[in-house]
Copies of this chain bind each other. A is one copy, B any other.
Amino acid sequence: MTFDPDSLRYDDRGLLPAIAQDAETSEVLMLAWMNADAVRQTLAERRVVYWSRSRAAFWRKGDTSGHIQELVDLRFDCDRDCLLLQVRQTGPACHTGRRSCFYTAVREGAEVELSKPL
């Protein structure tokens, strides 16, 4: 069946969440947002393009930082309202310089920092 980005289910802002996962280690790196055009661009370029909600603009990840995400596999869920992007990440995914944005855990009621900037 041919895939049509418009067949995904976007929220009232025209967006859906996209999880980026390291294609080799399976580490979850970050979550950001896409609209249908960002999905199209990501598939066409094989490089991840998000929609920045704060800047209201396309966000070709790595254009400024060099920390690009090469697309290995794009998947969507049973409700067609969330994406899983398996990527080859250059450098850190997180703007803090850490590999993953999920570097804080809650353990015994306290915030625990799991990693430092690379």
Using CB atoms and an 8 Å cutoff, list the residues of chain A in contact with chain B. Answer: 1-3, 17, 19, 21, 25-28, 30-31, 43, 73-79, 82, 84, 94-96, 98, 101-107, 109-111, 114
Copies in the complex: 2
Q: Point out the residues of chain B lying under 8 angstroms from A19, CB to CB.
A: 19, 28, 31
CB distance from A69 to the nearest CB of B (A): 16
Given contacts A27-B26, A28-B28, contact A77 B101 (CB under 8 A): yes
Partner of A28, one of B84, B98, B104: B84
* Shortest distance between the CB of A104 and any CB in chain B (Å): 6
- Cα distance A15–B74 when bound, in Å? 25
**21 A-B residue pairs with CB within 8 Å:** A1-B110, A3-B109, A3-B110, A17-B31, A19-B28, A25-B26, A26-B26, A26-B27, A31-B77, A31-B82, A43-B106, A43-B109, A74-B105, A75-B103, A75-B104, A75-B105, A76-B104, A77-B94, A78-B98, A82-B102, A84-B102
